[in-house]
Structure 1
Amino acid sequence: MTACIAASPERSRGRLVKEEESLFRSCYQRDRDRIIHSSAFRRLKHKTQVFVEHEGDYFRTRLTHSIEVAQVARTITGALGLNPELTEAVALAHDLGHTPFGHTGEDALHALMAPYGGFDHNAQAIRIVTMLERHYAEFDGLNLTWDTLEGIAKHNGPVIIPTGSDLPYALAEYNARHDLELHTHASAEAQVAALSDDVAYNNHDLHDGLRAGLFTEEEIAELPIIGDCYAEVDQNYPRLDAYRRRHEALRRVFGVMVADVIETSRAVIAESDLADSASVRHLGRPVIKFSDELWRDLKQIRDFLFTRMYRAPSVMLKRAQVTQVVNDLFPFYMECPSHLPQRWQTDVAAAGTTQALARLVSDYIAGMTDRFALSQHARHLGGPGGAGSWGDK
């Protein structure tokens, strides 16, 4: 039975700051609700995956993506008898640490922060939910349970640091006072959130790439899984209009991925002889996974998307432009921290070192939406790629 490995609110490791339990919600439900009501979650509305936010209303944002991941995760969790509230909390929080402009912004900020400990979006998510959200009277952050924090930090697997390297500073800072056991796997619920992320972005990137005209349906129909789904739709609905045909085919692709995760994970869990949720962490391998065959098929799809979408000429041009925005904003705020918002000035005054100031600037830029980053660049530096004297802006 998979239910024996499900996380239980009664066995949660609790919160760093003790709180009275709710009469109406489990600790995982409260985690989920605090994430939904956080400022960082709302900002995901105007942060994008591949395209810049203003390029079209139909392209996915980090917010719509997170909601889609949570929906997939609840489906898989329900089928496997795991805890839906913990799964949903991790799924909704997994992208909180992302910068504006998707992975392009993250790459730029990581390079700029290299002298100060680097930047990692998973570590930044931990920094947000443990420190940067400042709404509650008794603590900084959201004071989430250990179980949810663990899931955010290592839903993609144990945090393995190569010899000679260091943990991302945002993760090391919190882990020093609240050990998340980074060397182990996360709960089965967190693993579900990670695979649900793969399911969601593979599916919606196909949708968004088609809508953007970066490739055609005929081209993706040559790929594994997708071609069979189009063939099934054409057989069942031979006169279907193009828009419905696309939707019917791609929702079948979605279904194939979800069904494969459920069936494969059931088999892995059954053969692993797991006694409880703790044994999942120390198994030494994930229990939630795709089959080897589907994983190979997905690699072909991802390789296609990398070439035709993530590295398409129009996308690369935009990547260069928004990289310049981040590259300009970081030194501007380092030299002129008085331009940070007033409520940040207490932290600026207390920073003391260049490294501490760099972390504040990194926090501020990482929290920006696409449109806000562009507006601040235009305000202070004359627009994307624009030159200007910082002193007279």
Structure 2
Amino acid sequence: MTLNRRSFIGTGLVLGAALSAPPLIGQARPRVVIVGGGAGGATAARYIAKDSQGAIDVTLIEPTRTYYTCFFSNLYIGGFRDLASIGHSYGTLAAQYGINVVHDWAVGVDRDGRTVTTAGGHVFPYDKLIVAPGIDFVEGSVPGWDISAQNRMPHSWKAGSQTQLLKAQVEGMRQGGLFCMVAPPDPFRCPPGPYERISMVAHVLRERNPTAKILIVDPKQSFSKQALFEEGWQKHYPGMIQRIGPDFGGNNVSVNPETMEVDIDGQVEKVDVCNVIPAQKAGRIAELAGLTGETGFCPIVPATMQSRMDEDIHVLGDATIAGDMPKSGFSANSHAKVAAMQVRAALTGSTAFPARYSNTCWSLIDTDDGVKVGASYAPTDEMIAKVDGFVSQTGEPADLRKLTYEESLGWYSGIVADMFG
């Protein structure tokens, strides 16, 4: 599966322009409010504004003025990207597509009154609401750690200053020191992400601190692309990385940020850097809006991305219970295109085609050693179900791995253009 920027963006561009319906003269435009400006929210905002040709009033509420993608942030840690290359602004969405971009926190949703309230006290009425809030952390999921400890033991699972901090800590480790990752339980954002991060940390340490060690404490029996990562670690970083799974105490872990200690089933390890990635749930605004279920994530209608709690609300990306689809930037972008089409159809009478979804997750293990896993999906009544899939194989030749990495670079350029214009 080879993607380039032209083919990635092209499908949506042609489809929407031909199907939009202009507003009637003198008729107030229907209003769509979108909470969250990441891979789901920004994409949905752009597609609704673009494909409706101004027939829909679109407001995007996002607190940050520069959005740093969590995808590819590991490559920044590894030294393959600079921070500016993963940071993106919302100027084009406002200037070119006429989207009202509001930099504020959404703090309340009145589903009966169909309004969203922000921390600044502004109230935005909507006809349709799209909620794409990403993730928050489950309090107490790693005993000893809470958000107040994120400077001592960064999570770096929301990109930006946390990513900068973790990179600085890795580069500043004492010679021969110990890096520890407390990996998250399922389900979590980007299944291969923690293990790509381990690869990137190992890449830095091999060059700067070759006697350092890496310890992964993992509550899961297995993880995405495990055979590929373990093959790569043995090839590029032999003897550096050790993983402790649940059979050896990986599911009984606590931390002490003040003393920089990790307790693994009663055995205490003194560490130099500790990356704690806690259990996750849907972003807080989804819970406040009453859109989450028992798992802390949001159940959706597979064919439309509508909330099962409210038909006038669509939920996208990492916050959702999306069946077989993993939580990833690619998935969120795919959700957004389906939701945008459904919202536009409901508000302008344009055609909505049957939903189809796709995802690919690329990972870099070392220089030019890229691997991937992906699939296509279709909705059933119960879930978004996998139709077919692919995954890189162990033992692949170096030229294929390099091509896979280059493919990921093309995808990144394509998806950020699809998000931000």
TM-score by length of structure 2 reads 0.29
